[in-house]
Structure 1
Amino acid sequence: MAVDIPNDGISLRFKYGPQTVFLFVDRAASFDAISQQLLEALRERYPRGLLKGHPSSTDTTPVPPAGDDCRVVYGQPRNPRDLEAGWKALHTDGENPTTLRLKQNSVLAFALQTADEASPEFHVEIPAFEEEEE
């Protein structure tokens, strides 16, 4: 049975630490709505928090429960072809994926900003494939 996917959506990749969360969002949805969708997915998938580093690390960022005062801030790659080049803040107030000209499978970093935090940093780890030694 074929699944009918509407054409008004876009898949976005949201990165934090070693995690990548793929979300299918409405192209016209505000980033406030997208943030709520992302937070719901994070609460369900990462109840113990988001890893900040290697999966063997115990250092995590807690995902705030529903109703807590938390804002999701986004960053876009400085160089889309080299994610290790860093991230620059993306101003999403009043914007949506269409107005920001995001394409299918665009990559965005995200950070969870609490009321007492001035400007959060984007913690993103890019996987590196090392050749096996023989």
Structure 2
Amino acid sequence: MAVDIPNDGISLRFKYGPQTVFLFVDCDASFDSISAQLLEVLRERYPRGLLKGQPSSPDTTPVPPAGEDCIVVYGLPRNPRDLRAGWKALNADGENPTTLRLKQNSVLAFALQTADEPSPEFRVEIPAFEDED
């Protein structure tokens, strides 16, 4: 059976630590609804929390359960061609992918912020391929 995929959406890549979450979102959806969708996926996919670093490290960031106050904060790459250049905070209040001019497969860093926490930092690990000797 064929699946109908609407033409009014784009795929976005959300990065935290070594994880990348691909979401297909409506171009006119608010970032509040995108955040709710992202949190739902994170709760299902990462019930033990998001890795902060290498998979060999047990250090994780817990994903808040449904109903708990949590704000998803987003960052854009300083240089879209070099994600190692860092991230700049994105004010997504009242915005959507169209108003922010996001394109297919745009990359966004995200952080989870609870009410008692100051602005979180964007923890993103970019894979590196080392040359063989």
TM range (shorter): over 0.9
| Runs of 4+ residues over 2 Å off in structure 1 | 1-4
| Residues 8-58 of structure 1: CA deviation (Å, up to 9, x unaligned) | 111000000000000000000000000000000000000000000001100
**Corresponding position of 2:27:** 27
**Corresponding position of 2:130:** 130
**Corresponding position of 1:38:** 38
Give me the TM-score of the superposition, normalised by structure 2.
0.97
Does 2:16 align with 1:13? Answer: no
Structure 1: which amino acid aligns with 2:87? W
Q: Secondary structure at the match of 1:115?
A: coil
Structure 1: which amino acid aligns with 2:13? R
Query: Which runs of 5 or more structure 1 residues have no equivalent in the other structure?
Result: none
Give me the TM-score of the superposition, normalised by structure 1.
0.96
The Cα shift of 1:129 comes to 1.1
| Residues 79-122 of structure 1: CA deviation (Å, up to 9, x unaligned) | 00000000000000000000000000000000000111121100
- How many residues align? The count is 133
